[in-house]
Structures are given as structure tokens and as C-alpha cells.
Amino acid sequence: MTSNLANEPARVAAMYRKMLLIRAFEEAAGESFFAGNVRGSVHQYIGEESIAVGICENLRDDDYLTSNHRGHGHSIAKGAHPRAMMFELFGRVGGTSNGKGGSMHIADFSVGMLGANGVIADGCTISVGAAQAFRLLGKDSIVVNFIGDGGINRGPFMEALNWAKVYELPVLFVCENNQIAATTTTRLVTAGEGIAKRAESFGLPAHTIDGNDLFEVDGTAARVIGEIRNGSGPQLIQAMTYRLRGHFAHDQAGYRDPAEVEAALGREPIARTEAWLRENGMSADEIAAMRAEVDSEIAGYVAEALAAPWPDEGTAFTDVQDVGAPVRGEAVQ
Amino acid sequence: MTSNLANEPARVAAMYRKMLLIRAFEEAAGESFFAGNVRGSVHQYIGEESIAVGICENLRDDDYLTSNHRGHGHSIAKGAHPRAMMFELFGRVGGTSNGKGGSMHIADFSVGMLGANGVIADGCTISVGAAQAFRLLGKDSIVVNFIGDGGINRGPFMEALNWAKVYELPVLFVCENNQIAATTTTRLVTAGEGIAKRAESFGLPAHTIDGNDLFEVDGTAARVIGEIRNGSGPQLIQAMTYRLRGHFAHDQAGYRDPAEVEAALGREPIARTEAWLRENGMSADEIAAMRAEVDSEIAGYVAEALAAPWPDEGTAFTDVQDVGAPVRGEAVQ
Amino acid sequence: MTQMTYAEAARMGLREEMLRDPAVWALGEDLGYEGGMAGQYKGLQDEFGPDRIVDTPISENTIMGAAVGAAIAGTRPIAEMRFSDFAMCAVSELVNQAAKARYMFGGQARVPLVARMPIGIRGGIAAQHSQSPEAWYTHVPGLVVVTPATPADNRGLLKAAIRCDDPVVYMEHKGLWGVAGEVDEDDQEPVPLGVARIARAGSDVTVVSWAAQVAVALEAAESLAGEGISAEVIDLRTLWPWDREAVLASAGRTGRLLVVHEAVRVGGFGGEIAAEVAEELRIPVARLGGARIPIPFSVPLEEAYKIKADRVAARVREMLA
Amino acid sequence: MTQMTYAEAARMGLREEMLRDPAVWALGEDLGYEGGMAGQYKGLQDEFGPDRIVDTPISENTIMGAAVGAAIAGTRPIAEMRFSDFAMCAVSELVNQAAKARYMFGGQARVPLVARMPIGIRGGIAAQHSQSPEAWYTHVPGLVVVTPATPADNRGLLKAAIRCDDPVVYMEHKGLWGVAGEVDEDDQEPVPLGVARIARAGSDVTVVSWAAQVAVALEAAESLAGEGISAEVIDLRTLWPWDREAVLASAGRTGRLLVVHEAVRVGGFGGEIAAEVAEELRIPVARLGGARIPIPFSVPLEEAYKIKADRVAARVREMLA
Ligand SMILES: Cc1ncc(C[n+]2csc(CCOP(=O)(O)OP(=O)(O)O)c2C)c(N)n1
Ligand SMILES: Cc1ncc(C[n+]2csc(CCOP(=O)(O)OP(=O)(O)O)c2C)c(N)n1
Ligand SMILES: [Mg+2]
Ligand SMILES: [Mg+2]
């Protein structure tokens, strides 16, 4: 399906820019990882940008988003600042968590981004609870939970589907189906016809779309999120996509069929959106300029992050809890 | 559907006797609880006897059964001896666990009864693993897991459905749908069209039957268990039934609509089977005799259990583990 | 002063907090009609409605996980797990999420939830319904751990737990539900977290305990008094933070420390207290706790597991010998 | 003798047991192509097939629960949880089922599974991928808890864990995967469970540790030696059962005990050891463990959490002062 987005080249261009920002952020994160400036696991969102951007385009700041391990794209799309995110990846003061969380725990509560999550599917149950709180507090906000096609096989996600429908909560589950979980082809460990049928068996309307088609994502999100905000109860969108890189930066994905990757490149969202923009009046120069602008913006954040101060080791002992907070020194340590 | 069981009055009579045995056992267990001779939670199977008997009639001793908190009926049907079971409820030497387990942990491995379980749905994942072991060991046995209509909303059960189908394991899930979970009407906390649709969404054939109809249970079980043993992969039977008593002995079920209970009594399996037997050549005297025989058998076990010795307190410290076993006395205790 | 049971006092405390703050709510199985395992929620669904006393599916992961989300989103949920044994079905939600969110997100999140999970032996409910895993949660940064021993504390500490801005593991002892005690209805103040209670003053030995074992320790102290041995009994009330100063002060005075808990002795919280006191004061320390066995069902076996007053008294005599 | 890494040695031990006993198998995520987080399963799926090295869905409850059922049914499964943090998604299966089945069923069941759940800091994987919850499992009757510190032990103890007829929580330290050491390929014998290793003999103080902290303790002992302080370093190897006799004998000789672990100090297993030694020997005891904070991500913060050799040495000096 298409949305009125097709009539709004300017909005497409803005969303395209956000996709470029995510792509550039992820490329820079990967390079910084290999340069030894970023530690830990860096799960890149490369090739899936249109999903987060298309969904979040239809959210308000007071709507919540819960993510998983692959959360950079979700965060930027929801409005988290890539500068603070880059600082967090570098573990510096000024990072979204001032260095306490890192890539797998990016969060920006000021824009309703409740956090990436290192434990698959734990974000799903958190989401339904947040939606329950909205109801108690009389807010008309909704919660969007991103889950992978591997994550759908965890019990907490399935419990959350039932729970969300039992209480008719304003929750949108978005399953990003890139057909793989780390090195495992999810088809081989997923019984039945897939997540759409499962969601329907819990009474949730399920919509399977081409996640790499920005227009289809935006159109579906606009309609579904509108319905949820108007009380439709929970729904699920299965966005078909493809993970163009390894599971994380240090995975060369040798288990991948090169032909498959080749084919996927032809469907990747940025090129597709770019082609549409070219056909709809944006010049090659304008696009090149936008790309250059985005690349230098991200490059600037990397440079700033590298120069930014490390957190004082004393901050390791703050933000734990009020009562019973850690006291440094032998006795309680 | 009906099975050839209708042509075998003798087999019907034998199964009817087993149902009477379960009923008598549960009545005695309840009375013993109120008499103060049995402690803890006694979850009676009264009104659901035809399910366990009809299913287990089609199992072999080397097939496994995993149960839940309401396991007395499952155990007797699978071949556990009611005498040892009664001793266990009384906490005496000679009980199935020599008093270590009690009602919620009845087990008889000699007949493939792998145990009741105090944690809802934990038996489901145990079941798929046991089936995986059968495959590794080259056995053609199957595993039957009993789960309640409340238990289906726990994640581990849903994970187990997917898992069983992914590996095409010889597992039969039997959902005993008595429409209630403790004091909660499960319809109110179960989204969608129910367990059959859910199981189908995982690729499992699902069969909804009248669990109080012994003939339908036996017929369905015979066919389905045969298919599973021949490699059909996992299947699910939803047996509709009704819990005639409270959740456990000390629950007066005041939340129940008396009219509903009244109506349910008209559908209860023992009376229905008895009516069939009367129509098919069994006399009232024969039935009365059988009832009397069963009642006195159970009464005898109660008397024996009351007189049986309590376990020596020293046995509290055995059966824990080999390496690192508990040593009595201050130092390690 | 009014006499009421441990369960009634908890109900009173919860009701007071629900009246005081509309953001306080509870979720769990069978809270409405049943009113909780011991009536600790009785009538509250009628009073506050099904959106604040929520009957849930049997979905432990989601009861805890939803509480985390609801707490982060600005409410104060009480996740009723019925038994600490069932709470073991939701450890990731409590330990990986609730306990760490505030820290991982650099202080952006607050998780004011109460993970309510009764512990202990009630009699004949065996291995999967009788555990006392409180030591686990003291080991988890971000969590507060509370173990009330009296009706008054089960009202006042529950109120404090609900008002706490961080996740609190609230562990009532199932054996105490029906125990009655004095409660001052007029005093609406919470009992502060982290402050121990001297349950009985004494001078020869300090006996530290919590939950149901406090009564056992007091019984032992009473019988020891008859022999001229003066035991001071401390009810810790909160295990994290535990009242280190009060325990060290008492043990410093008496010169001997005995920790008594129902939980398994190996790896129990008694080790933390005994080790801490031994490190600080170099005085004789001892621990009494359960044998490293699952809780058995049969009466004599269950009795064999329990730490009775006579064993506590005997251990004290040994220490004084 | 051959030089190999901690991960390679584990792979060798598993392969030997799989060759020896067809009932031994492993299940978990990404064991086939990936060969496990550190290659500890590399090539084994090709050698033994997908039914013995099973790639599973992301279903932690079922990975552990299926292992329980498969163990009860006569096989010897290794449930690979990847991180002890993820094993927190399957605590009921391990603690309520695996640990108790034998007991609850009066000895009818045996549950010979290995719950393999690596612990510890590897560097920059933060709060949900770096925990060390070994103390929890020592507190659970029915479980054996193993924490190998060297390549040779990671081969020999894994073999012993696989052969054990009761559930074993096998906790490799993620920081040790790439550490190389001597392994005697010809010696196929398991390393016995419950027997500590004197990593370095000494006479002034006994330093007890396990897993990655053993190397830290040895480094401290080395520097202390330069000051004429002789520290005995004990690698506990198995936390339950722990080698009480060896520790008491050593501490009795040296007259001082220091326990060092990476896990959070509060509620850590160091409390059990220190308390036990203090009760038995009345000698100075001390503990070093992590601060009660989640593991932070950034380098300086993570470093601030760690117990380094200089802190161990300083603590020993204090004890001798
Ligand atoms: C409970 C849990 N189990 C396992 C992991 C390890 N893990 C991290 S990402 C991942 C694969 C996830 O695949 P999918 O859900 O499809 O998301 P994708 O990576 O494809 O975006 C796994 C197994 C984890 N983080 N949490
Ligand atoms: C994980 C877990 N949560 C809660 C309970 C408490 N509980 C015991 S039985 C029961 C109701 C079960 O209902 P259902 O599955 O329908 O079985 P039924 O009792 O109707 O046979 C509950 C909630 C439990 N034993 N385990
Ligand atoms: Mg995927
Ligand atoms: Mg039911």
C-alpha cells in the first residue's frame, strides 16, 4: 500500500535524511569499533533504516519506544541525539547514560526512548506495563515495541501479546523480520506460518509489509498507530527486511550466501528512497549535498567523542539506588 | 467422534472402574485433608476423570506423562498405585516419594509418570526435552503433557509448542479446559479464540473435544497418539471439562454460580459412562458392587496410611545429591 | 492500639497508600475475589476497581515485566508473585531490568516497584512453595530487600516499600499471615527502611534474625534468661540495606554474635553478617540456618529442617561455654 | 603437555566426553556455525551432527527445561546459556525443577545436566552481560557449582561435570576464553569436583579465590613476595562443594584469611567462606569483592569496579600490619 507520503516530497526528503543519519551513524560506529575506540557489541541497523524511520515518523514525543539489542536506529528515529549516542558508544561524559550503558543500553527518556535492551524480549513485557501506566494516568500515548524474528520465540514476548490484548492496551509490536538471529536462520527454529499468524491467534490484527519500502511502512504505521490511539487495542506489524551486515560489527557473516546479500542490496531502503526522490524532483547534487552534510555531522560527533572527557571513576557509584546506595571503601565494597 | 471402544463393553467397564478409583481417591484425599491427616494443597480431579483415563488408556508404560498441580488423576490413570499415592499424601514411609514430595510431587517413574509439578507450565519444557531424549536414545516412546487452561498463558508452555514442532518431537499436549484457574475465569485473561488456534499457529494439529465423553477422549487419543508414534510430530488436544469442586480442598468455590455447577453435574463423566454401561448390559448390582469394591479399596489405603510409620527424620537429608550432599550437624548446616 | 494479624496489617498499609496516591496499584493472580493468598488484598478490588487491583493471566514474566514498565512510566506497581518460588519465573525482569534500569540509563529511569514475594515454610507445601531466597536479592545492586516480622512492621514497611523510588523485594513470611499483634492505627508513618529493631535487650550475646525466626530467637532468649543468660535479639527488618551500625554496636557490647535464619545456611545472608562482624570486631560469631536440602513435605522431615528455639539456645550456650 | 586456550581446552573436554558417551549432547543458540561464543563448540556439530549439538530457538526457559527433561529421561545434556545473565531467564527450570526433582520424587529421578553459564567481565559488555551470580547457586540444595580458572581445569572439570549424576552449574569466566595454559592431552581423567588447588604455597596469609580472580591473587602474591610477605593462593575450583578442609588447613597454618572474588561483595560467596573460617578458627578474616553496583560500560568505570592485584596486596599488608 502507499500513503499520502507520496504527495509530500519534502517529508520524504526529511525521512530520507534521517535514514542517512542512521546509516552514517552505524558506519561510523563500526569503524570506531575497529579503530578500538568503541568497545563491546555494536549491532548495526544497516539496511533496516526505513522501518524505524517510517514507524517513528508517526509517533509523538510522549509516545514510548522500547527496543532490543539493535537499538541505534530506533533511538535516532525516535529523536535521541546522535551526538549523545556517539558519546555513549565511546563511553564519555555527555553520552546518553554518561558512559554507564553503552551501545546496548542507549536511552533518551526526554523523547520517550525507554532504552535498548541486552536481554531479548524483556522489552516486550516492559512495554505492556508502560501502556497500562498510560491508562492509569489518563494519557493517550501509545507504546511501540521493536522485536526481532528471533526474539519472537521467547516466552515473555508471547505472554505480552496475550496480556496486551486481554487489557486492550495501546501497544504496537513491530517485528523486524530480517530472517536471521545472529547466525541462525530463523525459519529453521520457528514453527508454523510465522509471527503474523501467531499474533492473530492472540486476537491482534497483524500486518506484514515490506519494511524496506518507506512508503509502505509510513502508510501502515500512520493508519495502525491512529487506530491504536483511538482504542483499537494492540496490533502487530511484521516488517520484512534484511540485515546487510553481520550480527554485530565483529561478525564477518561468513555463513551468508553472497548471492543473497547481493540481491538484498538491490532492495535496500536508502537506495530505493533515493531513487524515488530523484524521480520526484530532487537533484543528484542536492542528494550528494545532503549525504555530505550528514556524513560530516556524524564525523564531527566522532571527533568530538574522541576528544570528550572520560567519566570520573567516582560516577561508577552513583545512580544505583537511594536507600542502600553503595558507599566506596572496603567496608561495604 | 466415537471409537471402537463402543464395541468393547469390557474395556469400558475397566476404564469406568479406573474413573471410580480416581473419584474415590480424591474424595478420600479431601476428607483426609479436613480430618487433618493430609497437609498442604490437595487439588482434586473430580469431574475430569474421563480425560486422564481416556488418554492414558492409549499409552504404554514406557511412554512418559508430565503433570501439573492437579496430578492425582493423571498418576492413577498412568498406572501409579493409589496405595503408594495415599501414603505420600499422608507423608508416610511407603509413599511414592516416602513423604518428601506430597500431593504436588506425586511421581512413579516405574510407569512413566514423571511427576506432578508445583510450578505451572514448567512441565511443558521438561516434556519436550524428554521427547528429545527418546529420539537420541532411539526409543519410539512418546510424552504426554497435561496443562490447564490457565497454564496456557505462561511463556514456557508457548515456547514448548514452538520447540516441539521445530524438532517434530513425539509430544502430545493435553489442555484440560475446565474454564477456570483457581478463582479466575480464564476467558477473561485469555485473548483470542483459545488454545486450539494458538497451537495451530505453531503448526500443531489441535483437536477440541468433550473431555467428559470417555468415548470421544479414547477415540481421539487412540488416533492422535498413533499418529504421533508414527512420526506426525506434536499435536494438541483441548479437552473441554468442568472442575466440580474448589481449586483445592480448602476452597469452597463461593465464586461459582450454583446453576452452572448444577448444569455441569449433568455432564459429569462418571454418570455418563455409567449410563452407557447400564444400556450396554451392566446391571445396577454389578455397578454397585464395583463402586463398593473401589470405595473399600481406597478406604483400606486410608486406614493403612494412617497406621503407616512416619519417615525417620534422618531421611530428610538423603536423595539431595551425590557430590556435596548435606552432612548433618552445625558445621555444614 | 489495635490487635490485627500480619495479613490484615499489610492490607491496611496497602489500602492507606492506595488512598494516599492514585499511582499505587497492584497486579497478580487472583487478587480480586480471593483477595490474595491470605486476604492481604481482600476487598480492595471492590474499593479501588479492577484497574488498580488487577487480576492477571498466569504470566509471571509479564507480571514482573509489566510492573517494571509501569514503574518507569510513572506509577507505583506492586507485583504480587504469591510465592518467592514463583518469582523465580521472573528473575530476569527483576534483576536484569528493574534493578539495573536506573543505572544503565545513567539516572534517566526510576523503577519504584514492589516485587512482593512471600517466603518460608507454612507447613506441608514442600520444595516448590517454601523457599527463602532473600540472600539472592541482597546480592543484586539496585534492589532493596525487606523481611517484616510483625504485623506493625508489615504495615509500616510495606508503606515504606511502596514510597521507595527504587525497586523493593518485599518478602512476607507465609508462616506469619495469621499471627496477631499490636498496630497503632493512628500512626500512618512508614517504618524507615534500613533500621533494625531491638526486639529484646540483652548483654551476653547478640542474636540477629528476621521474619519468622525472630519469634524463635525471642523464645530462645526467654528460656536462656531462666538460666541467667542475657541474649539481645535484633530483628533486622531490612536485609538490604541492613543496619550494620546497630548490629556492630550490639555485638560490640555483648562480645558474641549468632545469626539465625530459616533459609539454607550455605550461601545465606547470615554469612554476610557474620563475616562483616568478624572482620570488624574479631569476636566469636556463629550462624544457624537450614540444612542444604529442599524443603520436605512430611511433618517429621519438615520439622527436621526447622531451626527451633532449643537449637538456638543450645548454640548460645556453646558460645558461652 | 600442550599449550591451548581455556576455550580450546573446554572444547577438547566436551569432545572427549561426547566420544566416550553417546548420551552426551548440547543445546543452545548458535552452537553450530558459530561454535559457541568463544569457539568452545567449534566443529562439534559437523562431527556429531545436529541432533547432538542442537541449535535452538531463542527460548531460554526451554533450553533449560528441555535439558531437565532430557536428563531425567536418561541423557546427559549440556544447556548452553551463553551468559549467566541470560540464565536468569530460566531460574525456575534450574532451581525449582533440576535441583529438586531427585529429592521431591524420593530418589526416583536423576538430573545429570550441565547448566553452562559463563560469568564475569569481558570488557565493555556492561550490566546485562557481565554478572557473576555464582553465590546464588551455592545457596540452592541439589546443585553443584563449578568455576574453572585454568585451561586444564576447564577441560577436566567440564568432564567431571558431564559425568556428574546431579545438576551442575558450570561457570566459565568470559575473561579467560583466550588465556592459554598447559594441558596434558594424554591424561583423560576428569578433575575431581570439590577439591581445591593450591595455586601458590605460602605461610603468612591464605588468599582464597576462583575463576579470573585467581590470576589476580597470584599477581598480588608475586609482588608481596618481593616485600618478604608469603601469601598462599588457593584456587577453589568448585564453590559447592567447596574444599573446606583445604581452606581451614591453610588458614590454620597461615593464621589469616582473605577471600577475593569479582562478584559483588555483599551477599557474595566470600561471606560463606570468611564466616566459616571465623567460626572455626577465630583468625583474622577479610573479603574483597565488587562494589554493590551494576557493571558499568565505560573503561574507567568498569576499571573502578574491578579488584586489581594492587588492592589485594594492599589488603594483605593491612592484615599483617
Ligand atoms: C534472552 C537472550 N538470549 C540470547 C541473547 C543473545 N542474542 C543477542 S541478539 C540475538 C539474536 C537476535 O535475533 P533477532 O531477534 O532476530 O534480532 P536481530 O539481531 O536479527 O535484529 C541473540 C541470540 C540475548 N541477548 N538475550
Ligand atoms: C508459575 C505458577 N504461577 C502460579 C501458580 C499458582 N497456581 C496453582 S494452580 C493455579 C491455577 C491453574 O489453573 P489451570 O492451569 O487452569 O489448571 P486447573 O487448576 O484448572 O486444573 C495457579 C494460579 C503456580 N503453581 N505456578
Ligand atoms: Mg532477526
Ligand atoms: Mg483450569
Residue range D250-266, pLDDT digits in tens: 999 999 999 999 999 99
Residue whose entry in the numeric block shows the C-alpha cell 588447588: D197
Q: Per residue in C151-202, pLDDT tens?
A: 999 999 999 999 999 999 999 999 999 999 999 999 999 999 999 999 999 9
Q: How far does residue C29's CA lie from ligand 2's centre (Å)?
A: 9
Q: How far does residue A150's CA lie from ligand 1's centre (Å)?
A: 6
Q: Per residue in A99-119, pLDDT tens?
A: 999 999 999 999 999 999 999
C69 touches chain A (CB under 8 A): yes
Strand, coil or helix: C92? helix
Answer yes or no: do B311 and C300 touch at CB < 8 A: yes
Q: How far does residue A150's CA lie from ligand 3's centre (Å)?
A: 5
Cα D128 to its chain centre, rounded Å, is: 18
Average pLDDT over residues D275-289: 98
Let me know: does A208 contact A198? Beta carbons within 8 Å: no
Let me know: does B58 contact B119? Beta carbons within 8 Å: no
First-to-last CA distance in chain A? 59
Cα C208 to its chain centre, rounded Å, is: 14
Alpha-carbon span D266 to D292, nearest angstrom:
7
D67 touches chain B (CB under 8 A): yes
Q: Which of C297, C299, C307, C319 to mutate to test the interface with B (most CBs of B within 10 A)?
A: C297
Report the pocket of ligand 1 as residue ranges, CB < 6 Å: A 69-70, 118-120, 148-151, 176, 178, 180-182, 243, 247; D 29, 58, 60, 82, 86, 89
Report whether pLDDT(B201) > 80. yes
Give, in order, the Cα–Cα distances in Å from A216 to each of A131, A219, B276.
Answer: 26, 5, 61
Report whether pLDDT(A331) > 70. no
ipTM of this complex prediction, to 2 decimal places: 0.98
Hey, which of A44, A48, A120 would you mutate to test ligand 1's pocket, going by the most ligand atoms within 8 Å of its Cβ?
Answer: A120
Determine the residue of chain D that is closest to A117 in CA distance.
Answer: D128
D103 touches chain B (CB under 8 A): yes
Give, in order, the Cα–Cα distances in Å from A13 to each of A2, A54, A105, A268.
Answer: 16, 12, 29, 17
Q: How confident is the model at residue B332 (pLDDT cuts 50, 70, 90)?
A: very low
Residue whose entry in the numeric block shows the C-alpha cell 534517566: C108
Helix (H) or strand (E) holding C66: helix C60-72
Q: Per residue in D103-137, pLDDT tens?
A: 999 999 999 999 999 999 999 999 999 999 999 99
Counted across chains B and C, CB pairs separated by less than 8 A come out at: 134
> What residues of chain B lie within 8 A of the CB of C292, using their CB?
320, 324, 326, 332-333
Report whether pLDDT(A332) > 80. no
Report the pocket of ligand 2 as residue ranges, CB < 6 Å: B 69-70, 118-120, 148-151, 176, 178, 180-182, 243, 247; C 29, 58, 60, 82, 86, 89
From chain C residues 170-199, the ones with a CB under 8 A of any chain A CB are 193-194
The dihedrals phi and psi of A176, each to the nearest 5 degrees, come to -90, 100
Alpha-carbon span B238 to B211, nearest angstrom:
8
To the nearest 10 degrees (0 to 180), the angle between helices C60-72 and A155-166 is 70
Residue A103: predicted pLDDT: 97
Report whether pLDDT(A20) > 90. yes
Q: How confident is the model at residue A328 (pLDDT cuts 50, 70, 90)?
A: low
In this complex, which of C34, C126, C290 lies closest to B183 when CB atoms are compared?
C34
D59 touches chain A (CB under 8 A): yes
Q: How confident is the model at residue D11 (pLDDT cuts 50, 70, 90)?
A: very high
Q: For residue D55, what are the β-bridge partners?
A: D28
Of the CA atoms within 13 Å of residue C47, those in its CB half-sphere come to 15
Q: Per residue in A115-130, pLDDT tens?
A: 999 999 999 999 999 9
Q: How confident is the model at residue D216 (pLDDT cuts 50, 70, 90)?
A: very high
Residue nearest to atom 25 of ligand 1 (CA): A119
Determine the residue of chain C that is closest to D144 in CA distance.
Answer: C292
User: Average model confidence (pLDDT) for chain A?
Assistant: 96
| Ligand nearest, relative to CA of residue D86 | 1
Let me know: does B33 contact B250? Beta carbons within 8 Å: yes
Answer yes or no: do C297 and B118 touch at CB < 8 A: no
Alpha-carbon span C51 to D211, nearest angstrom:
49
Average pLDDT over residues A147-152: 98
Residue whose entry in the numeric block shows the C-alpha cell 526529511: A14
> What residues of chain C lie within 8 A of the CB of D95, using their CB?
88
Cis ω before D300 (30° cut-off from 0): no
In this complex, which of A127, A163, A322 lies closest to C166 when CB atoms are compared?
A322
Residue C105: predicted pLDDT: 98
Task: Give the burial class of D228: count Cβ atoms within 10 A of its Cβ; 0-12 exposed, 13-18 middle, 19 or more buried.
Answer: exposed
Average pLDDT over residues C32-44: 96
Give, in order, the Cα–Cα distances in Å from B27 to each of B31, B148, C1, C63, C129.
Answer: 6, 21, 45, 35, 24
User: Average model confidence (pLDDT) for chain D?
Assistant: 98
Nearest atom within ligand 1 for CA of residue A48: 21
Report whether pLDDT(B333) > 50. no
User: Average model confidence (pLDDT) for chain B?
Assistant: 96
Alpha-carbon span B72 to A107, nearest angstrom:
51
Give, in order, the Cα–Cα distances in Å from A64 to each of A49, A109, A214, A221, C134.
Answer: 19, 9, 21, 15, 33
Q: Which triple of cell numbers denotes residue B198?
A: 494458538
Average pLDDT over residues D67-83: 98
Backbone conformation region of residue A150, classed left if phi is above 0, alpha if psi is from -120 to 50, else beta: alpha
Which residues contact residue D58 at a Cβ distance below 8 angstroms, ignoring those fewer than 6 apart? Answer: A120, A121, A150, A151, A153, A154, A181, A189, D29
Report whether pLDDT(B175) > 70. yes
Q: Which triple of cell numbers denotes residue B260?
A: 452452572
Residues of D annotated catalytic, as ranges: 129
Nearest to C177 by CA among C41, C5, C43: C5
Q: Which triple of cell numbers denotes residue B291?
A: 463402586
Residue B328: predicted pLDDT: 62
Alpha-carbon span D99 to C265, nearest angstrom:
17
Let me know: does A94 contact A118? Beta carbons within 8 Å: no
Cis ω before C284 (30° cut-off from 0): no
Position C21, amino acid = D
Answer yes or no: do D126 and A310 touch at CB < 8 A: no
Strand, coil or helix: B131? helix
B118 touches chain C (CB under 8 A): yes
State the smallest CA–CA distance between residue C135 and chain D in angstroms.
Answer: 6
B322 touches chain D (CB under 8 A): yes
Q: How far does residue B150's CA lie from ligand 2's centre (Å)?
A: 6
Residue B327: predicted pLDDT: 78
The dihedrals phi and psi of B44, each to the nearest 5 degrees, come to -85, 150
The stretches of chain B forming alpha helices (DSSP H) are 9-34, 49-56, 72-78, 82-89, 122-136, 155-166, 195-201, 214-229, 258-265, 269-279, 284-307
The dihedrals phi and psi of C170, each to the nearest 5 degrees, come to -105, 110
Let me know: does D64 contact D88? Beta carbons within 8 Å: no
Average pLDDT over residues A73-102: 98
D165 touches chain B (CB under 8 A): yes
Alpha-carbon span D295 to A320, nearest angstrom:
11
Alpha-carbon span A151 to D6, nearest angstrom:
30
Q: Which triple of cell numbers denotes residue A9?
A: 516530497
Alpha-carbon span B245 to C209, nearest angstrom:
41
Residue B3: predicted pLDDT: 60
Counted across chains A and B, CB pairs separated by less than 8 A come out at: 72
Report whether pLDDT(A150) > 90. yes
Which residues contact residue A74 at a Cβ distance below 8 angstroms, ignoring those fewer than 6 apart? Answer: A45, A52, A56, A65, A67, A113, A116, A146
Which residues contact residue D288 at a Cβ distance below 8 angstroms, ignoring those fewer than 6 apart? Answer: A330, D258, D259, D260, D261, D265, D270, D307, D311, D312, D315
> What residues of chain C lie within 8 A of the CB of D296, using their CB?
103
Task: Give the burial class of A120: count Cβ atoms within 10 A of its Cβ; 0-12 exposed, 13-18 middle, 19 or more buried.
Answer: buried
Q: Which of D55, D64, D91, D108 to mutate to test the interface with B (most CBs of B within 10 A)?
A: D108
Strand, coil or helix: A94? coil
Cα D131 to its chain centre, rounded Å, is: 12
Nearest to C173 by CA among C221, C236, C222, C224: C236
B255 touches chain C (CB under 8 A): yes
Residue A327: predicted pLDDT: 78
First-to-last CA distance in chain B? 59
> What residues of chain C lie within 8 A of the CB of B155, using their CB?
59, 61
Residue D257: predicted pLDDT: 98
> What residues of chain A lie within 8 A of the CB of C166, using their CB?
321-323
C23 touches chain A (CB under 8 A): yes
Average pLDDT over residues D194-222: 98
What's the predicted TM-score (pTM) here? 0.98
State the smallest CA–CA distance between residue B68 and chain A in angstroms.
Answer: 19
In this complex, which of B188, B190, B202 lies closest to A191 when CB atoms are compared?
B202
Report whether pLDDT(A1) > 80. no
Cα B279 to its chain centre, rounded Å, is: 28
Let me know: does A101 contact A72? Beta carbons within 8 Å: no
Average pLDDT over residues B164-185: 98
